Structure 1
Amino acid sequence: MLTRIVRMAFQPEKVADFLAIFRDSEDKIRNMPGCRHLELWQDADQPTVYCTHSRWDSAADLDNYRRSALFGQVWPATKALFAAPPLAFSVYPAGVESSLSSLPASQ
């Protein structure tokens, strides 16, 4: 399971436009193959900053969404509202074994 976080800062006067875009597309995104979860978070200290939190069966499923016609409509419309570049990253759950195997050997 892959988790994707996208942090976006919006121009204050464009927040309502973003929320309308999100509300219009959220169910379509949730119904994309491999999407298991999607929610929108608002920053507790910066009310014009929002994060999307989504979970995907695989990186390939996320990539397929990012190549879809839906993403081709939603992302450009959203990007036009930004006050700053977004921060996006993907993560996997870390187990003790996977965390330790990626560390350099001690000398």
Structure 2
Amino acid sequence: MFVRIVKLTFQEDKIDAFLANFEEIKHQIRNFEGNEFLELYQDKQDARIFFTYSYWKDEDALEKYRKSALFNEVWTYTKTLFDGKPEAWSVNKLATLT
């Protein structure tokens, strides 16, 4: 398992459109084969900045998602709302503290 973090910066007047779309498709992403967890965060200082935080079974699972019709549909729409280049990191989870 690994964690995928994606930073997205939206045009201010497109935030509601992004949130509405995310609400419609979040379960499809979460239920995509190999996805084990999905959350969305919004920056406290700049409301235009969001982060998705997801767990993937392995790199192949993420690649299958990235090559899927679902991803193509989501990304084609989402990128029209951007006000900056998205950034993404694939990271290994090293510790969980409870």
TM-score range, shorter chain: over 0.9
Residue 2 of structure 1 and its aligned partner are, at CA, apart by 1.1
Consecutive unaligned residues in structure 1, runs of 5 or more: 96-107
TM-score by length of structure 1 reads: 0.85
In structure 1, distance between residues paired with 2:94 and 2:5: 16
In structure 1, distance between residues paired with 2:33 and 2:89: 20
Percent identity between the aligned chains? 42
In structure 2, distance between residues paired with 1:16 and 1:54: 22
Q: Look up the match of 1:72.
A: 72
Consecutive unaligned residues in structure 2, runs of 5 or more: none
Q: Look up the match of 1:105.
A: none
In structure 2, distance between residues paired with 1:93 and 1:14: 32
Residue type matched to 1:7 in 2? K
Residue 36 of structure 1 and its aligned partner are, at CA, apart by 0.4
Structure-to-structure mapping, 1:1-107, within 5 angstroms = 1-94=1-94
In structure 2, distance between residues paired with 1:38 and 1:44: 19
| C-alpha RMSD of matched pairs (Å) | 1.0
In structure 2, distance between residues paired with 1:66 and 1:94: 25
Larger Rg: 1
TM-score by length of structure 2 reads: 0.93
In structure 2, distance between residues paired with 1:7 and 1:59: 19
Aligned positions, number? 95
In structure 1, distance between residues paired with 2:17 and 2:51: 15
In structure 2, distance between residues paired with 1:33 and 1:76: 21
